[in-house]
Amino acid sequence: MIALIHQPFCPHSRFVRLALGEYGLEVELVEERPWERRREFLALTPEGLLPVLMEDDNPPVPGADGAAEYIDETHGPHRGERRLMPLAVADRIEARRLAHWFNHKFFAEVSQPLVEEKIFKRMLTASQGGGAPNMEAVRAARVNIRYHLQYIGRLVGARNWLAGDRLTYADLAAAAHLSCVDYLGDAAWGENEDARLWYARIKSRPSFRALLSETVPGLRPSATYAELDF
């Protein structure tokens, strides 16, 4: 049995949930509010990273990067065509490069500012840094997302999936971050049609279903968030 300490609109948590979902692995979700910096939470993940994956007697696995490698090593072999980390060296380089792009660069430039300003700040007390969103950060992220959508469009225009012929961690990372942004209505789908079609494809997968049913109290999702045909 796998347990995952997560936060519903943390893009890294969503990335790991998608990976577990693609492999059909059952997972017990435990919600954590990392900004509360609970002692028990920091004992599991001293760096404060979400999510934290726990399975059997293994030590807790903190963070998206480590969880992806762990899941590949423990649940990836023998998945054949469904393995999320490809087997060929060149394909692994590309899958890791793009997963890193979304889990770090897209996060810093787009999903982190949008989620923090528009979702997490609603949940925080004033002393924790809560309050009205910093609209300058929001506007910058809305500009940044455009070139990321163009990049996705360029990649999937030449390939079937982001890192090549098959679905990999790269697609799950990109889609996890985009799903949070899409909830907020900030995914500028008009920017690139190839990117929109790719997202419609990945959003229709069963692994996505649980994510699309979650909502932020008091904040309605964008009209198209849960629409598979948007």
Closest approach, Cβ 223 to a second copy, in A, equals: 33
Closest approach, Cβ 167 to a second copy, in A, equals: 19
Q: Which of 30, 38, 41 shows the shortest CA–CA distance to 4?
A: 30
Closest approach, Cβ 200 to a second copy, in A, equals: 25
Residue closer to a second copy (CB basis): 176 or 216: 176
Q: For the window 63-102, what string marks contact with a second copy as x by the rule CB under 8 A? A: x-xx--xx--xx--------------xx-xxx-xx--xx-
Residues in the chain: 230
Q: Helix (H, G, I), strand (E, B), or coil: what is residue 229?
A: coil
By CB under 8 A, the residues from 46 to 65 that bind a second copy are 46-47, 49, 58-63, 65
**DSSP code at position 224:** T
The residue within the footprint of a second copy, chosen from 33, 35, 79, 104 (CB under 8 A), is 104
Q: Quick one: tokens of 170?
A: 């790269």
At position 222, the amino acid (one-letter code) is: S
Spatial neighbors of 169 by CB under 8 A, at least 6 apart, are 15, 19, 68, 72, 84, 85, 95, 96, 99, 163
Instruction: List residues near a second copy by CB under 8 A.
Output: 46-47, 49, 58-63, 65-66, 69-70, 73-74, 89-90, 92-94, 96-97, 100-101, 104-105, 151
